[in-house]
Amino acid sequence: MTGGCGGGIPSCEQVFDRRTAEADLRGLRKDGPPWATRALVEALADGLDLAGTTVVDIGAGIGAVHLALLERGADHAVDVDGSTAYVDLAREEAARRGLTERVRHVLGDVTERGPEVEPADLVALDRVVCCYGDLGALLRTATSLANVRLGLVYPRDDWWVRAVITAANPVMFRRSGGYRMRIHRAREIGGRLQDAGFRRRSLRAGRIWRVECWERIAATPAAGD
């Protein structure tokens, strides 16, 4: 993705490489998704009949969010990710679960590939906001694709989280071709989502991650409603 992750951008391919993707997939198969991802899935699905619903999973990684929603009854999903390794393994995991025909995988920057993606009932950004420098472009694209709900997982903007990430970036990503984790203000994210016609439906805050679900005001009903 532009500004940090994206198809063909060396920093993304270096950080989110095959070894990292394989480790994440092993963890998913052994222990299931981490708590923040589970909370995101729960928030997106809460109170909805998922039958017939559609999903766009931005920065989908190995596919934990959209695979969980498909297994709960969603009709089909689009996986958009900037890492070749993660797209390959997400495709492999979908096949292992018998979901190949219900997922379309798109490699590249969602702000550039967005016009190729149909809007969906549910849009997920699981730990994507912190990878992306151009917050405005990312949220404009995400909100334009979300007919009903938009869910995000991103780091808390507490001072100590900022301090840890500021200290860790040059060490963890010193050979990443410029990749850095970013902390965006929750107030700014919320303001942009409100301006796009969304209201916050739920919030869960862990030690590091915030899990938010936003609902479009006067949302287009999900297909199963």
Evaluate whether residue 84 is within a structural domain: yes
Which CATH number does the domain housing residue 80 bear? 3.40.50.150
- Alpha carbons 32 and 46: distance in angstroms, whole number: 19
Side chain identity at residue 216, one-letter code: R
User: Got the DSSP string for 44-90?
Assistant: HHTT---TT-EEEEET-TT-HHHHHHHHTT--EEEEEES-HHHHHHH
Q: What is the pLDDT of residue 1?
A: 37
Q: What is the pLDDT of residue 10?
A: 53
pLDDT: is 85 or 166 the higher one? 85
Evaluate whether residue 156 is within a structural domain: yes
Evaluate whether residue 4 is within a structural domain: no
Residues 6+ apart with CB under 8 A from 9: 1, 2, 82, 177
Q: How many CB atoms lie within 10 A of CB 148?
A: 21
Give kind and range of the element (H or E) at residue 209.
strand 209-216
CA angle 196, 132, 168 (to 5 degrees): 135
Residues 6+ apart with CB under 8 A from 33: 41, 64, 65, 68
- Alpha carbons 194 and 131: distance in angstroms, whole number: 22
Edge-to-edge strand ranges of the sheet holding 120-126: 103-107, 76-81, 54-58, 120-126, 146-155, 209-216, 198-205
| Parallel, antiparallel or unpaired: strands 198-205 and 209-216 | antiparallel
Q: How many CB atoms lie within 10 A of CB 223?
A: 17
Query: Is pLDDT above 60 for 63?
Result: yes
Q: What is the pLDDT of residue 3?
A: 36
- Alpha carbons 29 and 207: distance in angstroms, whole number: 24
Domain count, the chain: 1
Q: What is the pLDDT of residue 114?
A: 82
Evaluate whether residue 146 is within a structural domain: yes
> How many Cα neighbours within 13 Å face the side chain of 93?
28
pLDDT: is 225 or 91 the higher one? 91
For residue range 27-37, what is the model confidence (pLDDT) as tens digits? Answer: 999 999 999 99
For residue range 136-180, what is the model confidence (pLDDT) as tens digits? Answer: 999 999 999 999 999 999 999 887 777 777 776 666 665 555 667
User: 21, 62 in Cβ contact below 8 A?
Assistant: yes
Query: Is pLDDT above 90 for 101?
Result: yes
For residue range 181-204, what is the model confidence (pLDDT) as tens digits? Answer: 778 889 999 999 999 999 999 999
Evaluate whether residue 224 is within a structural domain: no
Evaluate whether residue 1 is within a structural domain: no
Paired tokens of 221: 């009903």
The model's pTM is: 0.89
Q: What is the pLDDT of residue 223?
A: 55
Evaluate whether residue 5 is within a structural domain: no
Evaluate whether residue 178 is within a structural domain: yes
Query: Is pLDDT above 70 for 11?
Result: no
152: containing domain: 10-216
